[in-house]
Amino acid sequence: MVARLEELEALRAQDEVVAAAQRRGLEAELAAEKEARAAETRAWEALGAELERANARAERAKEDFLKSPEFDSLLAKKAWGYFKDGFWGCLAQFRSNGYSEEEHPASFLDLQQGVDDLGDDDDAEDEEEQEEGEVDGDTEANLPSSPKP
């Protein structure tokens, strides 16, 4: 019986050694996985920061371009293209549908006249503003004074 107890004690000691070795192996594996996860997290954070910097640079570049004379030039060309094509297309449809300029005078179809009228409108607005200023100035001078108590 003592031999059996000694044998069981030896088996138990061996099991403890094996269990301790397995535990150390699992702890090392867990530590490696934690380190890998931490490294991956740092990599994702670095990528996120780089993405934010790239987005900020792109936004600044976009704002700079929108403020640049090059953008103004491109915008003017595009706007003129839309106006020109739209105007001539409208004029062609107007004429193709049988509206003759003799029967139906349409002064808005004359591009040069329209541009000239725009200049006249600006002059008229300036004159109106001057007249309003004179009228306002005259009204203030002609207002009766309030009675004194």
Instruction: Name the domain count of the chain.
Output: 1
| pLDDT for position 118 | 75
| pLDDT single digits (tens) 46-60 | 999 999 999 999 999
Query: Residues near 109 by Cβ (< 8 Å), separated by ≥ 6?
Result: 91, 94, 101
Specify the higher pLDDT residue, 79 or 136: 79
Residue count (the chain): 149
Q: 85 in a domain, yes or no?
A: no
| pLDDT for position 41 | 97
Domain that holds residue 43: 1-67
Q: 36 in a domain, yes or no?
A: yes
Q: 139 in a domain, yes or no?
A: no
| pLDDT single digits (tens) 66-105 | 999 999 999 998 888 878 777 788 778 877 887 777 776 6
pTM, rounded to two decimals: 0.41
What are the φ/ψ torsions at residue 4 (nearest 5 degrees)? -65, -40
